[in-house]
Amino acid sequence: QVQLVESGGGLVQAGGSLRLSCAASGRTFSSYTMGWFRQAPGKEREFVAAAISWNNGNTDYANSVKGRFTISRDNAKNTVYLQMNSLKPEDTAVYYCAAELGLRARPITTMEGYDYWGQGTQVTVYS
């Protein structure tokens, strides 16, 4: 049983920054593979970023956010973050964190690869 609680969403002007947080329950968070997805109105949920459990530098990003967003994790706090810089109106979406409990050699970039999901947090970027 894993519960994910997201926070940090809000309204921000284009070019600004937000940091999303996802706090996870569970006894073995350090072994979780974590990811971020987003879903804009009328669109499919899409991959944003992911990180494996054991190497904070082993990450993957959607091309649309590469160079602007950074996923990181603090295993001591059972928390994964998504730092979003240089935000654009097209980044407006509900952002979801996700967890997969198995050890992985590579980040998981598909929805089907995750076992648990947070409730989502709204990010709105205006120009």
pLDDT at position 28:
78
The amino acid present at 71, given as its one-letter code, is I
Average pLDDT over residues 19-38: 90
> Where residue 55 falls among pLDDT bands split at 50, 70, 90?
low
CB 44 within 8 A of CB 35: no
Collapse the DSSP code of 24 into the 3-class scheme (helix H, G, I; strand E, B; otherwise coil) and give the result: strand
Lowest mean pLDDT among 17-31, 33-47, 60-74, 86-100: 17-31
**pLDDT for 114 beyond 80:** yes
